[in-house]
Amino acid sequence: MRKISILILALSLVFCVSCSPGCRRIRGGVRVETEGGTLQLRFYDPATVRVTRSAGRPVESPSFSVVKRPEKVRLSSRQEGECLVLSSEALTARIDRRSATVSFFRPDGTPLVAERPGGTLRSQAFLLEDGESLYGLGQHQGGVWDWRGHELTLQNNNMEIALPLVHSSKGYALFWDNYSTTQFSDGPDGMCFSSEEGEQGDYYLIVGRDADAVVAGIRSLTGQAPLSPLWAYGFHQSRERYVSQEELVGVVKRYRELGVPLDGIVQDWRYWGMDNAEWNSVEFRNPAYPEPRKMMDEIHGLHAHALISVWPSFGPKTNIYQELEAIGALLPIETFPPDNGVKVYDPFNPQARDIYWSYMKRHIWDAGLDAWWLDATEPEHKNPQASDFAFNTAAGSFGAMRNAFPLYSCGGVYDHQRADAPERRVLILTRSATVGLQRYGAHCWSGDLTSGWDALSWQIPEALHFSLCGMPYWNSDIGGFFSAHRYPDGCRDPEYRRLYLRWMQFAAFTGMMRSHGTHTPREIFQFGGPGDFDFEAQKECIRLRYLLLPYLYGTAWQVTSAGSSLMRALFQDWPSDPKARAVSDEFLFGRSLLVAPVVTDALSREVYLPEGGWFDFWTGERVAAGMQTVDCPLDRIPLFVRSGTILPVGPDVQYACEKPWNSLQIRVYPGADGSFVLYEDEGDGYGYERGRRSEIRFRWDDAASCLTICAREGSFPGMPAEREFRIVGVRPGCGINTDRDAADVTICYTGEEMTVTLP
């Protein structure tokens, strides 16, 4: 009876909301009638809450970005005068009916963020604390790191990715769920989102104990990021543009002849022909590509893969244009190339998405192409007119849906390929994004940059802002897209060569290492040949990427399985360090490698190393924490490894899958305890989702100088039955740089737990 009485008391606390006048209990929250309309609050899980504000009954249509369904959340509630307080185990919401506002707190009463009175259906301001920093909002030019005190127009355009999501240094994210052009501002009156269109105010608050938990919460809400195929993490060569299948195959052959690792080659536009009326026919109409199947057989025979450019717009002489026009699925906006009758399709129309994929499959996928470069998914919009935004797409006005375009366009390709070819992982490279795009296997890049040191310096904060929005895979054109504006002599210009090399060093630590641009070809052989400085420096940079593949793939698995981040702002690991929070020109690649790219034409730079032990990757020397001035020879990027790191070193290969990982060097960086999970699977396909994968956990006990290699968990077809591990304790001159041979102890591992003591 006592237990029953306690249960009745608990239930009365949960449901007492329904007894308050003007309040109505709903599943996971409450609906409150106010003078200005209806305020609804619903918990999706203990750390995530949705708030909607409407003139009448809230619109129950689902979010385009959000895929999570509300969980059953245990809530308690109480009245405090005119305020209703609703609490989960992770978050408290205080609804003030007089001002029709909501304030949020941690369970211990620590304030998080509060609405400012006066919110409307399309605008809401929030009161922040002094000293609080804001990150996120997508990807934007200019190098801004902390968005406090700034204004920004959130509209997808080339080089601008609009994500109306802020990530606070206080451990929460706020996602303003609106897809029309939105103004962000922060000033004395608060932080505000104000959108051009919308039926109701709608936002989500996600809280976490730290930044990693917040990112994981964003992914839980908007979708997890699948693994890309292993080859996607290798090196990719592109150009605007290769003009024939002979040239495309020839570049791959040249890389193989030179012994430079390569996994991907990218075919840019006009394989469909030169007539803009036949723009993006999604067919090989260009006579320079007479046998695409033969082209792909040759590329695959060289153990490489090909991505191909497909746009969301079509010339009036194309077959796909005619089919889309027949069902009314073309938007009446002017797009690139202008004055040619080219039209953008309506990706919100499911029938249009079917047609789009049918052409991609029949003419490209079935010819053997491996992955998609979905260009201009903003989409390109020239000379915008008011009537453009009023046009009704299949999901609402173009003005209301504009920023959701890449989500639907990329999502349609992902869903169709997974349905038709589940044995191959979807890989999409795209120029724009919507919150949630990570669930579609998308890697975003920073657009058509003008080459220069300023543009290179902006890439680091852009990448970190993007990552803090829950988007793990980002990259940029190595060397910048438009080179001729500042470097008309291209790769013959010594300064451009230096810029290109520094950019490549940075790109080795991004989600996709990819060279691309116009005006000057930039394949490695354009910079010289074996023995020449630029050639050798670039080759070693690419080899470093492949050396790190087991570490990178293991980190990618943590992104997929645990909501982790690949490119990490320093404050994610040192949240209480104000200096770490201010750093915008360094980042962690995974949890162990601190990367300090050189973004000026200089041979030294200042580097901040947060508290803890550090090693110079190149020399094995220990480096003290704090601000350091480091030398940066032109062929070396400042790279530091945390004490306690266990770093698996990949074999020397020409492509990612050339050799199995049955013989690896395992580097141990002493000075702290640590762990790492060596992850493997078939390298492609989605068998890993069904358990076809293996994990080997390494644990380092620093006090005992003992490395435990745990029993292998799981298996997959083709998995090595036993492995050679060459284990080395890193020290000056040993276990450094790209040396794969150094070892203190060599063991044969057969899947059972083993313990190794290092000298």
pTM metric for this prediction: 0.96
Q: What percentage of the chain has pLDDT greater than the value 70?
A: 97
| Same-domain check for residues 328 and 440 | yes
How far, in Å, CA of 66 to CA of 44, rounded?
Answer: 11
Q: Is 462 a catalytic residue?
A: no
Mean pLDDT of 565-570: 98
**Catalytic entry in 323, 375, 534, 680:** 375
Mean pLDDT of 635-662: 98
- Read off the CATH number of the domain in which 263 is found: 3.20.20.80
Query: Which pLDDT belongs to residue 749?
Result: 98
Does residue 595 form part of some domain? Answer: no
**Catalytic entry in 212, 240, 378, 680:** 378
What is the CB neighbour count within 10 angstroms for residue 392? 13
DSSP letter, residue 383:
S
Does residue 619 form part of some domain? Answer: no
| Same-domain check for residues 683 and 752 | yes
Start-to-end Cα distance in the chain: 64
* Residue 4, pLDDT above cutoff 60: no
Cβ atoms of 645 and 656 closer than 8 Å: no
Does residue 182 form part of some domain? Answer: yes
| Same-domain check for residues 250 and 186 | no
Mean pLDDT of 410-415: 98
Query: Which pLDDT belongs to residue 13?
Result: 38
**Catalytic entry in 160, 278, 346, 448:** 448
| Same-domain check for residues 405 and 482 | yes
- Read off the CATH number of the domain in which 94 is found: 2.60.40.1760
Does residue 580 form part of some domain? Answer: no
Tell which residue, 372, 432, 374, has the closest CA to residue 405.
432
| Same-domain check for residues 181 and 249 | no
| Residue range of the domain that includes 474 | 230-562
Domain boundary among 562, 584, 607: 562
**364: CB partners within 8 A, 6+ apart:** 282, 284, 292, 308, 310
| Same-domain check for residues 165 and 89 | yes
Per DSSP, the residues of 10-62 read HHHHHHGGGGSTTEEEETTEEEEEETTEEEEEEEEETTEEEEEEESSSPP-PP
pLDDT, tens digit (0-9, with 9 covering 90-100), for 665-721: 999 999 999 999 999 999 999 999 999 999 999 999 999 999 999 999 999 999 999
Does residue 604 form part of some domain? Answer: no
The helix or strand, by DSSP H or E, that contains position 540, with its residue range, turns out to be helix 533-547
* Residue 3, pLDDT above cutoff 50: no
Q: Is 275 a catalytic residue?
A: no
| Same-domain check for residues 150 and 278 | no
| Same-domain check for residues 133 and 248 | no
Q: How many CA atoms lie within 13 A of 103 on its CB side?
A: 17
The full 3-state SS of 541-576, as one line of letters, equals: HHHHHHHCHHHHHHHHHHHHHHCCCCEECHHHCCCC
Mean pLDDT of 227-236: 98
Query: Which pLDDT belongs to residue 125?
Result: 98
pLDDT, tens digit (0-9, with 9 covering 90-100), for 153-164: 999 999 999 999
Query: Which pLDDT belongs to residue 61?
Result: 74
Domain boundary among 155, 172, 207: 207
**Do the strands 182-187 and 151-154 form a parallel or antiparallel pair, or are they unpaired?**
antiparallel
* Residue 559, pLDDT above cutoff 90: yes
* Residue 7, pLDDT above cutoff 80: no
Mean pLDDT of 628-638: 97
| Same-domain check for residues 491 and 535 | yes
Does residue 170 form part of some domain? Answer: yes
| Same-domain check for residues 394 and 505 | yes
Q: Is 148 helix (H, G, I), strand (E, B) or coil?
A: coil
* Residue 17, pLDDT above cutoff 70: no
Q: Is 366 a catalytic residue?
A: no
Does residue 175 form part of some domain? Answer: yes
Domain boundary among 535, 562, 589: 562
- Read off the CATH number of the domain in which 652 is found: 2.60.40.1180
Q: Please, which pLDDT band fits residue 5 given cuts at 50, 70 and 90?
A: very low
Domain total for the chain? 3
- Alpha-carbon dihedral angle through residues 298, 303, 305, 306, given to the nearest 10 degrees: -30
Query: Which pLDDT belongs to residue 277?
Result: 96
| Same-domain check for residues 184 and 237 | no
| Same-domain check for residues 235 and 170 | no
Max CA separation in the chain (angstroms): 87
Does residue 505 form part of some domain? Answer: yes
pLDDT, tens digit (0-9, with 9 covering 90-100), for 55-90: 887 777 779 999 999 999 999 999 999 899 999 999
How far, in Å, CA of 636 to CA of 756, rounded?
Answer: 33
Q: How many helices (H) and strands (E) does the chain have?
A: 14, 47
Q: What percentage of the chain has pLDDT greater than the value 90?
A: 95
Alpha-carbon distance values, 572 to 213, 421, 562, 564, 587 (Å):
10, 37, 15, 11, 10
Check the CA dihedral 589-406-448-478 and report its sign. Answer: positive
